[in-house]
Structure 1
Amino acid sequence: MIQTEQLLHTLRKEFDNSAYGSNPDELYEPIRYIMSLNGKRFRPLLTLLGAGLYKDDLSRAVKPAMAVEIFHNFTLMHDDIMDNAPLRRGKPTVHEKWNANTAILSGDVMLIRAYDHLLDINPSQLRHVLARFNQTAAEVCEGQQLDMNFETRWDVTEGEYLEMIRLKTSVLLGFALELGAIIGEANPADAQLLYEAGESMGIGFQLKDDLLDVYGDPEKFGKQVGGDIISNKKTFLLIEALSKATGEIRTELNDWIARETFDKAEKVGAVRHIYDQLEIRRITEQKINDYFNQGFESLEKLNVAPERKEPLLQFVHQLVNREQ
């Protein structure tokens, strides 16, 4: 049986040995920096686990799996600029450590390096993989634009928000698993089921991220807890609160949203208390469970022996229960 820890070790070794480029150093050092920040790397791991459902030799899947992670970090580097985020995985973001122009250009190179790694795909599969990757990459950008659009809107619905995070976050998880299926020469039905599983779990993952931003342990979360509350970001929790709050609770919530000057810790505590009164945590946890259960249902339908599914299922359970 494939061992998840062995796969992670292989990925760590490959990433540690990747130079991405050498000259000028000012272009490539930020790439080495963000790729060394100990991300969870569960996207490339999903690709390897997806391929491992059908193949024992995963050597041809390693470089394509890395492409998914490099692309993901490219989007983070640019997203951090747009969000003016000070921290990424507990460390200064690239635009803070260097500057925005450097982060933009280094991110551009990361996208190019992602394509370089996809070239390790079997030539007979490459055209299909590139088409799916390009579609996924465009959808991620669409999701980011919707996220930015929401910054100036206060009528964002739950459905609109879920579609935004499907595009911005979950389609890449779906692609990661589908990529593994393609490399493993799975039948098209299984490849589609794996994409659907990743997409459902991706929505659950982002909702969990929203939840942890409010209720997570700062030592484990790796980002500023309460950052979404401080910036009035339209997360699932805030959208639900706005739809349910009435009377004095609604007045208090609107007051905190409208304030231009405030003590950050006080605002986070006050809005969290409002969420508690409205049972927003319970509602969010139920929605998270719903999406992860959809993912498990798709995985159960795969035409694969149960023992081959076990490493993937175990890893997904770890995602469900994560605290960071």
Structure 2
Amino acid sequence: MKLGDVAKLLGGRLEGDKNFEIEGVSSVENPKPKTLVFCSSKRDVERVKDIKQVALVVHTPVQDANCVVVEDVKYAMAMFLRIFYPEEHPSGVSEKAYIGEEVIIGEGVYIAPFTYIGNKVVIGNHVKIYPFSYIGDQCLIGDETVIFSGVHIYPRCVIGKRVRIHSGAVIGADGFGYYIGKEGITKLHHIGSVVIEDDVEIGANTTIDRALIDRTIIGRGTKIDNLVMIGHNCKIGENNIFVSQVGLAGSVKTGKNVVLAGQVGVADHVSIGDNVQVVAKSGVANDLEANGTYGANLPSIEWSRWKRIYLYLLKLPELFKKGS
């Protein structure tokens, strides 16, 4: 399409040749002729070697370049990719899928070969379930949800509308709960469920445990990266973002718009307020008040130097006593 049409589509201001032909999209690292390159910073623009061969989507006009100037470059990219590179899914129920008794299946559904659908499952309209996925008894799957290959959803879980669950995710396994007494370690039988609200995305190999008695809840619009662990009885608020290798112990509660960066660990029964950000590799052992940025991590340093620092840390109590 022509650059002028792209500008109209993105609601941006055209700077340059409206008839410049666009044949696709390419990255800042590998720009290709006649493509659209989204540059969210000056550094991105500088990395494009020959700006005359491409068209730029930028926040600030670039001299001698064909540009579409927009308020938010990343949002413009999301819009463009969604429209011009739509995700395509098949439809139809395979004869090689196992479908249990009293299953309700909506319109436009795809159930791939070698999937397992348990008894009394309700599957909404335009749901897509890919091969080797398991849906346990009495689950509810909302409209337009996509369940990629190899996902396991244990019985009695509720999945909302427009949810995306990537390969290897496990929803509704037992929480890690035991009673330790004279008789040894006794397992606590988890009879609760998991509720995934609308517009949630769950990354590959993420696990979300079922509650002991009530519900583990993932709030509307939350986005969870790959390899995240969410323990039993957690209550996750709306529009949270959990980056890879985050781990939440049981009964954690988060407010709205919480961001946990990579490898953040949260202890059990901790509450985190609205609009909180926790930096990577931090441990959260106590409640966090709303509207703050928290964290305590230690960047990598030379090993022998760290050992010396550690020895001094062990001596700090004695040094304080001497100082007082």
Q: Which has the higher strand share?
A: 2
Q: Which has the higher helix share?
A: 1
TM-score range, shorter chain: under 0.3
Q: Which structure would you say has the larger RCO, counting Cα contacts within 8 Å and 6 or more residues apart?
A: 1
TM-score (norm 1): 0.22
